[in-house]
C-alpha cells in the first residue's frame, strides 16, 4: 500500500467522541500515523505479518493503520470505553478482521501474561504533562517488557534527552528514527491557539 | 474477543489472586470473522501460546472440533492443522458473554466483542 493511500484511509476514520483531559487524549493525526507506520514497515519490516500491540490505542489510528499494512494481528488496548467503542466501529466500517480490542489499564501489572510476547509494540502515549507526569515513561517501560523486538513510540522532541537517559538506565537501545511535526488542533478549552505545531520524535526502542 | 487475546489475559492484578489464569469463558454469542490464512504467522505464534488453554477455551465455546489437545511434532508441515489453529486463534470471536477469574470468581463482561478488564481501586493488589 502506498503512503498516500494509507494516509487517505486514516484520514477518514472517526476520532475521540468525548476527549478526556485527565487521560491526555489527543488524536494522532492521520499524516503522522501514516508516516510513522510506513517508516516502521519499510525500514524495519515490523508490521506486515507481525503480532502487534497498540498500547493506549484510543480510536485506533495506529491499530487501523497497522492492520491496513498487513499485520498478522493487532491488539488495541485502552482504558477509555468511549475510545474503544469508536475503534470497534472504525474496524467494522473498514471491514478489518485482524484487529482485536481490550478495555483495560495497560499499566496494571500482569494483565498480559507473557513478557516478550508481541513482535512489535506501537504507542502514542500520553505526553506525561498536566497530572500525568511520568506516564509516557511508564508506557514505554511496559511496552519494552511486552515485546520480543521493538517498541515504536511517539514523544515530544523536547523530552529527547530524558528518554535517552531512561533507555540507558533500562539497559535498552533506542534511536530516533524520524522527526515529525504534530499539528495539534485545539482539543480542550485551555488551548488558546487554534492549532500549534509540536516537534515529535518517532523512537525505536529495543532490547 | 479472539482466542489469541484470551490466551494472554489474566486477572492476577486482583487483590489476593495468585495466578488468575486461565480465565473461564462463558459465551452467549460467538461469530466467525474470516481472516486471510497466513501459515507462517500461525506457525510462529503457536509456540508462544499456552496450547492447552487455547484447546480448552475452544472446546468451552463449541469450536474445538478437530483441534488436537497436544501439539504434534512437525506441526508446521501439517497445513490442515495450521488451518484449524488459524480458525480457532484468529477467526472465532466471542461477541457477548463474560470471563471469570478462576480464583476469585470475579466476572469480566464481554460486550460487542470487547472484554472489560477494568478494575476498581479497591480490587487491585
**Interchain CB distance below 8 Å, B48 and A75:** no
Nearest to A82 by CA among A101, A67, A106, A55: A101
Which of the pair, B48 or A20, is modelled with greater confidence? B48
ipTM above 0.85, yes or no: yes
Tell me the pLDDT tens digit for each residue of B67-105: 999 999 999 999 999 999 999 999 999 999 999 999 999
Who among B12, B45, B114 is closest to A88 (CB)?
B114
Report residue A11 CA to chain centroid gap: 16
Rounded distance, CA A184 to CA A194, Å? 9
Residues near A132 by beta carbon (within 8 Å), at least 6 away in sequence: A22, A24, A126
Report chain B residues whose CB lies below 8 A from the CB of A105: 117-119
Chain B positions in Cβ-Cβ contact with residue A102 (cut-off 8 Å)? 1, 5, 9, 114-115, 117
C-alpha cell of residue A16? 475521540
Cα–Cα distance for residue pair B17/B33, rounded to 1 Å: 34
Closest to B103 measured CA to CA, from B27, B25, B49, B24: B24
pLDDT band at A194 (very low <50, low <70, confident <90, very high): low
Does residue A21 have a pLDDT over 90?
no
Q: Which residues of B touch A100 (CB under 8 A)?
A: 1-2, 4-5, 93, 113
Percentage of residues in chain A having pLDDT higher than 90? 73
Name the pTM for this structure: 0.94
What confidence score (pLDDT) does residue A184 get?
67
Each residue's pLDDT tens digit, A119-135: 999 999 987 766 677 89
Query: Which chain A residue is nearest to residue B93, measuring alpha carbons?
Result: A100
Could you read off the pLDDT of B54-71 as tens digits, one per residue? 999 999 999 999 999 999
Show Cβ contacts of residue B11 under 8 Å, excluding neighbours closer than 6 positions. Answer: B17, B20, B21, B23, B99, B101, B102, B103, B104, B106, B108, B117
B 34-63 → A contacts, CB under 8 A:
34-36, 38, 40-41, 45, 48, 50
Amino acid at each position: 500500500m502506498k503512503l498516500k493511500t494509507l494516509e487517505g484511509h486514516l484520514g477518514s476514520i472517526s476520532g475521540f467522541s468525548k476527549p478526556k483531559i485527565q487521560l491526555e487524549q489527543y488524536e494522532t493525526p492521520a499524516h503522522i500515523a501514516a508516516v510513522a507506520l510506513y517508516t516502521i514497515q519499510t525500514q524495519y519490516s515490523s508490521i506486515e505479518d507481525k503480532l502487534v500491540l497498540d498500547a493506549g490505542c484510543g480510536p485506533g489510528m495506529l491499530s487501523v493503520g497497522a492492520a491496513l499494512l498487513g499485520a498478522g494481528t493487532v491488539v488495541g488496548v485502552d482504558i477509555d470505553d468511549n475510545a474503544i467503542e469508536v475503534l470497534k466501529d472504525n474496524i467494522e466500517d473498514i471491514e478489518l478482521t485482524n484487529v482485536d480490542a481490550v478495555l483495560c489499564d495497560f499499566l496494571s501489572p500482569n494483565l498480559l501474561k507473557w513478557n516478550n510476547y508481541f513482535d512489535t509494540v506501537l504507542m502514542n502515549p500520553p505526553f506525561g504533562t498536566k497530572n500525568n507526569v511520568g506516564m509516557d515513561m511508564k508506557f514505554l517501560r511496559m511496552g519494552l517488557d511486552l515485546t520480543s523486538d521493538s517498541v515504536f513510540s511517539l514523544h515530544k522532541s523536547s523530552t529527547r534527552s530524558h528518554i535517552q537517559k531512561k533507555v540507558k538506565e533500562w539497559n535498552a537501545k533506542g534511536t530516533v528514527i524520524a522527526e515529525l511535526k504534530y499539528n495539534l488542533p485545539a482539543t480542550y478549552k485551555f488551548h488558546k491557539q487554534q492549532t500549534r505545531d509540536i516537534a515529535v520524535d518517532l523512537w525505536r526502542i529495543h532490547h | 474477543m479472539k482466542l489469541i487475546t484470551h490466551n494472554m489475559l489474566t486477572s492476577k492484578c486482583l487483590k489476593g489472586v495468585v495466578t488468575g489464569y486461565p480465565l473461564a469463558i462463558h459465551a452467549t454469542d460467538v461469530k466467525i470473522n474470516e481472516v486471510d490464512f497466513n501459515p507462517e504467522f500461525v506457525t510462529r505464534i503457536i509456540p508462544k501460546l499456552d496450547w492447552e488453554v487455547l484447546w480448552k477455551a475452544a472446546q468451552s465455546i463449541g469450536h474445538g472440533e478437530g483441534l488436537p489437545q497436544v501439539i504434534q511434532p512437525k506441526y508446521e508441515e501439517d497445513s490442515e492443522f495450521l488451518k484449524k489453529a488459524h480458525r480457532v486463534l484468529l477467526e472465532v470471536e466471542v461477541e457477548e458473554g463474560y470471563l471469570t477469574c478462576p480464583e476469585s470468581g470475579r466476572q469480566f463482561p464481554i460486550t460487542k466483542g470487547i472484554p472489560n478488564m477494568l478494575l476498581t481501586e479497591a480490587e487491585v493488589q
